Structure 1
Amino acid sequence: MDTAETSTGTAYDTLKVQVLNGSGTVLGTLATYSNLDAAPGYTQRGFDLSGYAGQTVTLKFTGTEGSKYQTSFVVDDTSLDVS
């Protein structure tokens, strides 16, 4: 994640990772990242979805950016491991 934001205390730009059921209802938010989490390069993230076993769910990534400075949230190489 890269940002041009200069604030060290306010989250102007966010990326939410949510789990939705078949009707589109949010069952949970797995993570919320913001310009405050900026770091150079790529960072691998993982989530435990075992609480949703047996259900049909959708993972939703929602980015929201303020109007002043750019923050780049990059989602790449997603995968799901089932055991």
Structure 2
Amino acid sequence: FETNPDFVFTVTRDFVRSCQNPILVLPDDVPAHPYAVAMECAMLAPKAEVSIFPWKEPKERIPLAVRQIHSFLKAHQPA
């Protein structure tokens, strides 16, 4: 974080760019998880999918996000 405060805390942009694992990004927009960074991760990661945003509010959207999570996990489970 201290060396790259404008991106995620744990990995570099190059790591995200080279990540071949499918990832599902559920964007948020709070100081610790800014929307712009979530969307940048989604753009950089070659196998990224993005949920609806906002997905936590209104409360009626939560089941949609959960359905997408289930579909994502089912589609990417190991053989």
- From the CA coordinates, give the structure whose radius of gyration is larger: 1
Tell me the TM-score normalized by structure 2: 0.26
Specify which structure has the bigger relative contact order, considering alpha-carbon pairs within 8 angstroms and separated by 6 or more residues: 1
- Name the TM-score, length of structure 1 as normaliser: 0.25
